[in-house]
Structure 1
Amino acid sequence: MAVRTVTPSLRPMNEAEYAKYMPELRLSIGGKAKPIVKPFWDAARFIPRAFGPFVNMEHILRLGLIISNNPDIDLDDNGPPICDAELQQIEKCELRDAFTTYNKLLTLCPTLKQLLPHAQMNAEDFKSVGEFLDQANRNARTDDISRLRDNVMKYIYEVKGIQIPDSGLDKVKRGWNCEATARMLCPRNLRDEFDADPKKFCQEVRNDRRLVDHDEWPTLAYSETEYDPDNLDWGLLKSPFLVKCWKATFKGPSSVNAEAGPTSGRKGGRKTLSKAYGITTVNEYSIMYVTILARFSLSGVASWVTNDHDGPYTGSEFFKNLLFLFEDEEWRKDTLAWWNTSALAKSSASKPLEAAQTQLPAPDLLPLRVSRSNAQRAAANLESSVGTQT
Structure 2
Amino acid sequence: MAGHVQKKGNVGQGATDTSRTNKRPGAPNAAPAAAKRIRVGDREVEGRRVVDRRVEDQRPEYRRTDERHQRRTPSEEADDVADIFDIEVDEAADDTSPSSPDATSGQVDVRNQELANLLDLLAEANPKKKPAEKSMIAAYHRVGRRLQHELGPNVCTIQLLHWGPTLEGMADGVDVGDDDTRATVAEWTNRKQYMVLESYQLLVKRVLRMRLFLDNFDGCLDGIESLTSYLDACAKAARGDEVGSLRDKLGDLVPALRDHGLHGRAQKAFRGFLSTITGRLLCPQARLAEFDADPPKFCEQVRYGEIEVCAGHLPSFLYDQKMVQAARMEPGLLRSSLLVKAYKCVYTGPNSVTSEEPGRKTAGKPSRAHQMKMTNVTARSIAHVATMMRFVLNSQPEWDSRDGNFDGQEFFELIVQIFTKKKWASETLAWWDKEVFGTAAGRSASKRGADNSAAAIDALMAELGDDDDDE
* Stretch of structure 1 that moved more, 39-48 or 117-126: 117-126
What amino acid is aligned across from residue 250 of structure 2 in structure 1?
V
2:182 counterpart of 1:88? yes
Distance across 2 between alignment mates of 1:207 and 1:95:
33
Match of 1:146 among 244, 251, 263: 244
Identity of aligned residues (%): 25
Distance across 2 between alignment mates of 1:313 and 1:64:
24
Q: Does the 8 A contact of 1:49 with 1:289 survive in 2? A: yes
What amino acid is aligned across from residue 54 of structure 1 in structure 2?
N
How many equivalent pairs are there?
351
How has the CA–CA distance of structure 1 residues 376 and 194 changed in structure 2, closer, same or farther, with 3 Å as cutoff? closer
What amino acid is aligned across from residue 182 of structure 2 in structure 1?
Q
Q: Deviations over 1:292-316 (max 9, x none)?
A: 11111000011112xx212222222
Q: Does the 8 A contact of 1:222 with 1:238 survive in 2? A: yes
How has the CA–CA distance of structure 1 residues 349 and 242 changed in structure 2, closer, same or farther, with 3 Å as cutoff? farther
Match of 1:199 among 296, 300, 307: 296
Residue of structure 1 in register with 2:10 after alignment: none
Residue of structure 2 in register with 1:314 after alignment: 407
What amino acid is aligned across from residue 340 of structure 1 in structure 2?
D
How has the CA–CA distance of structure 1 residues 101 and 222 changed in structure 2, closer, same or farther, with 3 Å as cutoff? closer
Distance across 1 between alignment mates of 2:420 and 2:227:
33
Q: Does the 8 A contact of 1:261 with 1:343 survive in 2? A: yes
The correspondence of residues 171-190 of structure 1 with structure 2, limited to 5 A, is 171-190=268-287
How has the CA–CA distance of structure 1 residues 103 and 266 changed in structure 2, closer, same or farther, with 3 Å as cutoff? farther
Match of 1:221 among 318, 339, 345: 318
2:100 counterpart of 1:5? no
Deviation at 1:102, TM superposition (A): 3.4
Residue of structure 1 in register with 2:139 after alignment: 39
Distance across 1 between alignment mates of 2:70 and 2:113:
32
* Stretch of structure 1 that moved more, 54-63 or 242-251: 54-63
Deviation at 1:225, TM superposition (A): 2.1
Distance across 2 between alignment mates of 1:327 and 1:351:
12
SS in 2 for 1:346: coil
Residue of structure 1 in register with 2:234 after alignment: 136
Q: Does the 8 A contact of 2:154 with 2:409 survive in 1? A: yes
Residue of structure 2 in register with 1:165 after alignment: 261
How has the CA–CA distance of structure 1 residues 48 and 82 changed in structure 2, closer, same or farther, with 3 Å as cutoff? closer
Distance across 2 between alignment mates of 1:351 and 1:251:
23
Q: Does the 8 A contact of 1:185 with 1:220 survive in 2? A: yes
How has the CA–CA distance of structure 1 residues 374 and 3 changed in structure 2, closer, same or farther, with 3 Å as cutoff? farther
Deviation at 1:66, TM superposition (A): 7.5
Q: Deviations over 1:183-222 (max 9, x none)?
A: 2112223333333432232223223333322222222011
Residue of structure 1 in register with 2:160 after alignment: 60
| Cα RMSD (Å) | 3.6
Residue of structure 2 in register with 1:107 after alignment: 205
How has the CA–CA distance of structure 1 residues 262 and 114 changed in structure 2, closer, same or farther, with 3 Å as cutoff? farther
Q: Deviations over 1:317-373 (max 9, x none)?
A: 223332342232221112111111111111136279xxxxxxxxxxxxx7xxxxx99
How has the CA–CA distance of structure 1 residues 233 and 134 changed in structure 2, closer, same or farther, with 3 Å as cutoff? same
The correspondence of residues 1-390 of structure 1 with structure 2, limited to 5 A, is 5=71, 10-11=95-96, 14-29=111-126, 31-35=128-132, 36=135, 37-64=137-164, 75-76=171-172, 79=173, 85=179, 88-89=182-183, 90-91=185-186, 98=196, 100-118=198-216, 120=218, 124-156=222-254, 163-168=259-264, 170-262=267-359, 264=361, 266-267=363-364, 269=365, 271-305=366-400, 308-348=401-441, 350=443, 377-378=458-459
SS in 2 for 1:184: helix
* Stretch of structure 1 that moved more, 206-215 or 177-186: 206-215
Deviation at 1:126, TM superposition (A): 1.1
SS in 1 for 2:171: coil
Deviation at 1:120, TM superposition (A): 5.0
How has the CA–CA distance of structure 1 residues 184 and 95 changed in structure 2, closer, same or farther, with 3 Å as cutoff? closer
What amino acid is aligned across from residue 248 of structure 2 in structure 1?
D
How has the CA–CA distance of structure 1 residues 115 and 260 changed in structure 2, closer, same or farther, with 3 Å as cutoff? farther
The runs of 5 or more residues in structure 2 that have no matched partner are 1-67, 74-91, 98-109, 447-452, 464-471
| TM-score (norm: length of structure 2) | 0.65
Distance across 1 between alignment mates of 2:319 and 2:167:
41
Q: Does the 8 A contact of 1:52 with 1:288 survive in 2? A: yes
Q: Does the 8 A contact of 1:324 with 1:377 survive in 2? A: no
What amino acid is aligned across from residue 144 of structure 1 in structure 2?
E
Distance across 2 between alignment mates of 1:31 and 1:163:
35
Q: Does the 8 A contact of 2:204 with 2:211 survive in 1? A: yes
